[in-house]
Amino acid sequence: MLMPVLSGMRTRWITFVGSFVALALGVGLIAATGLALAATFDAPERGPERFAAAPVVVRAADHLRVDTPTGTRTKPLDHPGPVGPRTADRLAALGRTVEDRTFPADVTADPAGADAKQPRTGPGAEAARTGADAKEPRTDPGAEADPAGVDAKQPRTGPGAEAARTGVDAKEPRTGPGAKAARTGADSEKSRPGQEAEVRVGHPWSVAAAAPYRLTSGRAPAAPGEVVVTTRPGGAPLRTGDRVLVRTPAGNAPRTVVGTVAGRGFEDAVFFTDDEAARISPDIDALVVHADATAVRRALGPDSGMDVLTGHDRRRADPDPDRDVRALVSVNALLGTAAGITLFVSAAVVASTFSFAVAQRRREFGLLRTAGATPGQIRRTVCVEAVLVGVLASAAGVWLGAGGAPLLVGRMTEAGLAPPWFALGDASWPLHTAFWTGVFVATAGALVSCHRAGRTAPTEALREAAVDSRVMPASRWAAAVLVLLAGLGLPAVALAFDPGDLLGRKSYITRPMLLVVGCALLAPVLVRPVGRLLTWLPARLPGATGVLVRENTAAGVRRTAAVAAPVLITVALAATLTGTVATLEEARAAEARTATTADYVVTPGQEGRPLAPAFVERARAVEGAVVSVSRSTAVTVLEEGTALVTSEARAVDPARLAAVSDLPVTAGRLSDLDDGAIVVNEEWLTTRVGDRVTVWLGDGRKASLRIAAVLATGTGDNGVYVTRRNAGGAGVDRIDVKVAEGADRRAVAAALHSAGAATGTRVTTRAEWLAANGPGPNDPTRTGLWMILGIALLCTATALANTLVMATSDRGRDLAVLRLAGATVPQVLRLVAAEAVVAVGVGAVLGGLVAAVNLLVVWGALVLLGVMSAVVVPWGTLGLVVAAAALLAAVAAVLPASFALRTRPVELAGARE
Q: What is the pLDDT of residues 106-156, one digit of tens each?
A: 888 765 544 433 333 333 333 333 333 333 333 333 333 333 333 333 333
Q: Please, which residues have CB within 8 angstroms of residue 634's CB and are 6 or more apart in sequence?
A: 78, 646, 647, 648, 649, 698, 728
Cβ neighbors of 63 (< 8 A, separation 6 or more) are 74, 75, 76, 77, 177
Query: Tell me, what's the pLDDT at 161?
Result: 36
Instruction: Compute the distance between CA of residue 420 and CA of residue 365 in angstroms, rounded to an integer.
Output: 56
* Cis ω for the linkage preceding 173 (within 30 of 0): no
Nearest CA to 844 among 533, 608, 414, 410? 533
Query: Residue 438's pLDDT is what?
Result: 87
State residue 266's pLDDT score: 86
CA dist 338 and 401 (Å) reads 14
Residue 237, pLDDT > 90, answer no
Q: What is the mean pLDDT of residues 856-874?
A: 89
Residue 556 has pLDDT above 90, yes or no: no
Whether pLDDT at 668 is above 60:
yes
Cβ–Cβ < 8 Å for 268, 139: no
User: Residue 465 has what pLDDT?
Assistant: 45
pLDDT tops 90 at residue 279: yes
Neighbouring CB atoms inside 10 A of 340's CB total 17
Predicted local confidence at residue 468, as pLDDT: 55
pLDDT of residue 175 exceeding 70, the answer is: no
pLDDT at 750: 93
Distance CA 824, CA 804 (A): 21
DSSP 363-431: HHHHHHHHTT--HHHHHHHHHHHHHHHHHHHHHHHHHHHHHHHHHHHHHHHHTTSS-TT-------HHH
Write the pLDDT tens digit of every residue in 770-785: 888 766 555 666 777 7
Consecutive H or E run containing 707? strand 702-711
Which residues are within 8 A (CB) of 214 and not within 5 positions of it... i.e. 6 or more apart?
Answer: 261, 262
* CA–CA distance, 453 with 473 (Å, rounded to integer): 12
DSSP 219: -
Q: What is the DSSP string of 308-330?
A: EE-GGGGGGGSSSTTHHHHHHHH
- The share of the chain scoring above pLDDT 90, in percent, equals 31
Q: Where is average pLDDT lowest: 66-80, 152-166, 591-605, 650-664?
A: 152-166
- 309 to 306, 314, 455, 558: CA distances (angstroms): 10, 5, 72, 68
Nearest to 256 by CA among 274, 238, 281, 269: 238
When pLDDT is averaged across residues 43-59 and rounded to a whole number, the result is 88
CA distance 713 to 649: 14
Encode pLDDT of 421-443 as tens digits. 888 888 889 999 999 988 888 88
What pLDDT is attached to residue 58? 94
Question: Does residue 758 have a pLDDT over 90?
Answer: no
Measured distance CA(140)–CA(165) in Å, rounded: 8
Q: Are strands 665-668 and 720-723 parallel, antiparallel or unpaired?
A: unpaired
SS3 696: strand
Q: Are strands 56-60 and 306-309 parallel, antiparallel or unpaired?
A: antiparallel
Mean pLDDT of the chain: 80
Q: Is residue 280 within 8 Å of residue 202, measured between CB atoms?
A: yes
The residues near 355 (Cβ < 8 Å, ≥ 6 apart) are: 445, 448, 449, 558, 562
The residue among 116, 145, 120 whose CA lies nearest residue 724 is 145
* Mean pLDDT of all residues in 898-905: 75
pLDDT tens digit sequence for 89-112: 999 999 999 999 999 998 887 655
Which of 267, 420, 321, 330 has the alpha carbon at shortest distance from 46? 321
Which of 319, 179, 323, 313 shows the shortest CA–CA distance to 698?
A: 179
- Residues 690-729 have pLDDT tens digits of 999 999 999 889 999 999 999 988 887 777 999 999 998 8
Residue 162 and residue 283 in contact, taking contact as beta carbons nearer than 8 Å? yes
Average pLDDT score over residue span 400-412: 90
Residue 305 banded pLDDT, cuts 50, 70, 90: confident
Q: Output phi, psi for 263, to 5 deg.
A: -65, 155
Specify the amino acid at residue 430.
P
Residues near 199 by beta carbon (within 8 Å), at least 6 away in sequence:
104, 106, 183, 188, 189, 190, 191, 268, 606
Q: How many residues does the chain have?
A: 913
DSSP H/E element including 552: helix 545-555
Q: Within 13 Å, how many C-alpha atoms sit on residue 735's CB side? A: 29
What is the band of 185 on the pLDDT scale with cuts at 50, 70, 90?
Answer: very low
58 burial type by CB count under 10 A (0-12 exposed, 13-18 middle, 19+ buried): buried
Instruction: Say how far residue 15 (Cα) sits from the centre of its chain.
Output: 40
Indicate if the pLDDT at residue 910 is higher than 70: no
Whether the predicted pLDDT of 406 surpasses 70 = yes
Q: Where are the domains of the chain?
A: 1-45+321-467, 500-596+775-913, 597-772
pLDDT at 530 over 50: yes
- Residues linked to residue 721 through DSSP beta bridges, in sequence order: 650, 679
pLDDT the model gives residue 501? 84
Evaluate if residue 650 carries a pLDDT over 90.
yes
Structure confidence by residue, pLDDT tens digits, 453-499: 666 556 554 554 445 555 567 777 888 899 899 989 989 998 988 88
Number of Cβ atoms within 10 Å of the Cβ of 870: 11
Name the range with the highest mean pLDDT among 103-107, 354-358, 420-424, 819-823: 103-107
Determine what percent of the chain falls in helix, strand and coil, rounding each to the nearest 5: 50, 15, 35
Give the pLDDT band (50/70/90) at residue 158: very low
pLDDT > 90? residue 274: yes
154 DSSP assignment? P
pLDDT of 792 higher than 60 = yes
